[in-house]
């Protein structure tokens, strides 16, 4: 295909790398572990990276590669790697840049498993994590030194709903020669262009919006090749001599991803490719409904505080608007009087589902403190700012009035 089209067209029309034998209109699901070669010579070329043929599906697979290509087309990333889950994307990306003795600068306000990966798993391998307040740029600058291998953040933290100034962070990262790695799961790439805000490596849990209705687990690493790895004494500076800004992708695709063995499965890639086709439409509807509900729920009896960064008066409203536009994600939180009130509300919901996960087509409600953060020590929850009073809502595609009606009855029934 020739000229670049608009995003919604590109979402649908990325051509296959090779013509399908049957002219299938959907990319076939190539459920094959390995691929046959005509000659030993061709095999050698493929295995030594001199030809682009598929060899083994832990490394590449045509269906997964097609999904990666579509994401590359619509984001302009230099390379996209699809993994088996969002956590696989985070661990593969971090293991590509971190080594014993290096440190990562991040916030305590993180997805639970990401926090545990940094605080426990990486610590066991001699990688230090420096938790600081990422909304305080001076604190970030002070925590960052020549051993820092990444500044890592979530663009809107969950459930705290905190927004860091990405351009400010990027400026610090540039002066310190540290890559900025962002988990952008909460605002998908149809609504937020991470590269324009100085993000070097973008991570997405494609389990969420992209899967198209919680069909499958998946994760993406997008490398924009914007970071100059040769400038500092980092793990990739040697590779950068031969590969320049592609050093991250080379290390990831030739070593880390092969050794970790967490590539996306062809079936998941098929479903997530379908999910991509409707991503923009679904995101628009869910995020608009979310903003409306966050506004309306604030007026219900018993609701102490509603937290959505798209609301006027929210402490991050201006920054959020400049980074994510009118509708910053399809998730909001609110506080009730107590943990008991939160449980009672959840138990009385009739339409909204009690479930974890984000950005299913169905609206989901959860009490984060007793579930996602339930195994953390109470003092850790306090430090992570996860309150016992908070309910988290992931808004789906239902009618807004029907959802509001369910919230209203679940709250009024407990008065």
Ligand X SMILES: *Cc1c(COP(=O)(O)O)cnc(C)c1O
Contact residues toward ligand X (CB under 6 A) are 85-87, 111, 114, 154, 158, 183, 185-186, 205, 207-208, 217, 219, 358
Q: How far is the CB of 337 from ligand X (least distance, A)?
A: 27
DSSP β-bridge partners for residue 394: 331, 364
Give dist(CA 342, CA 348) in Å, integer: 10
Q: Which residues, listed in sequence order, are joined to residue 219 by a DSSP beta bridge?
A: 83, 205
Q: Based on CB atoms, which residue is closest to ligand X, 91 or 177?
A: 91
Residue 69 CB neighbours (<10 A): 17
Q: Answer for the pair 325, 317: CB distance below 8 angstroms, yes or no.
A: no
Distance from C-alpha of 13 to C-alpha of 58, rounded to nearest angstrom: 26
- Between 152 and 327, name the residue whose CB sits nearer to ligand X: 152
Q: Which is nearer to ligand X, 164 or 303 (CB)?
A: 164
Query: Is residue 195 within 8 Å of residue 76, measured between CB atoms?
Result: yes
In order, the DSSP letters of 51-102 are S----BTTT--HHHHHHHHHHHHHH--SEEEEESSHHHHHHHHHHHH--TT-
Least distance (Å) from ligand X to the CB of residue 131? 17
Region of residue 312 (phi > 0: left; psi between -120 and 50: alpha; otherwise: beta): beta
Question: Which residue number places its CB atom closest to ligand X?
Answer: 86
Cα gap 71→61, rounded to integer Å: 15
CB of 356 to ligand X, least distance (A): 9
Taking the least distance from each CB to ligand X, the nearer of 77 and 82 is: 82
What sign results for the dihedral spanned by CA atoms 370, 376, 377, 381? negative
Minimal distance, residue 200 CB to ligand X, in Å: 18
Q: How far is the CB of 59 from ligand X (least distance, A)?
A: 21
Distance between CA atoms of residues 236 and 98, nearest Å: 10
Query: Whose Cβ is closer to ligand X: residue 217's or residue 247's?
Result: 217
Question: From the CB of 160, what's the least distance to ligand X, in Å?
Answer: 12
Whether 99 and 127 have beta carbons less than 8 Å apart is answered as yes
Closer of 60 and 207 to ligand X (Cβ): 207
Q: Which is nearer to ligand X, 256 or 358 (CB)?
A: 358
Question: Whose Cβ is closer to ligand X: residue 114's or residue 177's?
Answer: 114
**Least spacing, CB of residue 112 vs ligand X, in Å:** 9
Question: Is residue 350 within 8 Å of 409, Cβ to Cβ?
Answer: yes
**From the CB of 171, what's the least distance to ligand X, in Å?**
24
What is the side-by-side strand order in the sheet with 128-131?
79-83, 219-223, 201-205, 180-183, 148-154, 103-106, 128-131
């Amino acid at each position: 295909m020739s000229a670049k089209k608009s995003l919604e067209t590109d979402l649908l029309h990325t051509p296959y790398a090779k013509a399908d034998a049957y002219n299938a209109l959907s990319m076939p699901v190539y459920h094959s572990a390995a691929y046959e070669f005509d000659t030993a010579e061709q095999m050698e070329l493929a295995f030594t990276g001199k030809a682009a043929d598929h060899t083994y599906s832990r490394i590449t697979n045509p269906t997964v590669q097609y999904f990666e290509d579509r994401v590359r087309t619509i984001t302009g990333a230099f390379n996209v790697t699809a993994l088996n889950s969002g956590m696989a994307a985070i661990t593969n990306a971090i293991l590509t840049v971190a080594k014993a003795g290096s440190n990562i600068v991040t916030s305590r306000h993180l997805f639970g498993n990401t926090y545990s990966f940094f605080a426990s798993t990486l610590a066991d391998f001699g990688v230090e994590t420096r938790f600081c307040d990422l909304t305080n740029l001076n604190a970030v600058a002070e925590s960052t030194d020549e051993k820092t291998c990444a500044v890592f953040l979530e663009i809107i933290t969950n459930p705290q709903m905190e927004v860091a100034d990405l351009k400010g962070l990027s400026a610090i990262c540039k002066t310190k020669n540290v890559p900025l790695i962002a988990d952008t799961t909460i605002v998908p790439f149809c609504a937020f262009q991470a590269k324009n805000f100085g993000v070097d490596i973008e991570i997405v849990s494609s389990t969420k919006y992209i899967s198209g209705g919680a069909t499958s687990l998946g994760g993406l690493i997008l490398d924009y090749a914007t970071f100059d790895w040769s400038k500092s004494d980092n793990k990739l500076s040697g590779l950068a001599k031969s590969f320049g800004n592609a050093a991250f992708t080379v290390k990831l695709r030739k070593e880390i991803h092969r050794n970790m063995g967490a590539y996306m499965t062809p079936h998941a890639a098929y479903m997530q490719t379908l999910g991509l086709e409707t991503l923009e439409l679904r995101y628009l509807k869910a995020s608009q409904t979310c903003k409306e509900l966050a506004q309306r729920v604030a007026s219900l009896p018993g609701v102490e505080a509603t937290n959505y960064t798209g609301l006027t008066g929210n402490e991050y409203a201006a920054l959020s608007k400049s980074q994510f536009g009118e509708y910053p994600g399809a998730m909001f939180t609110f506080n009730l009087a107590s943990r008991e009130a939160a449980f009672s509300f959840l138990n009385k919901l009739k339409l909204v589902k009690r479930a974890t996960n984000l950005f299913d087509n169905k609206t989901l409600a959860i009490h984060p403190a007793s579930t996602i953060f339930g195994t953390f020590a109470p003092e850790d929850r306090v430090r992570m700012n996860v309150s016992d009073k908070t309910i988290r809502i992931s808004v789906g595609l239902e009618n807004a009035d029907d959802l509001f009606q369910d919230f209203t009855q679940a709250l009024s029934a407990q008065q």
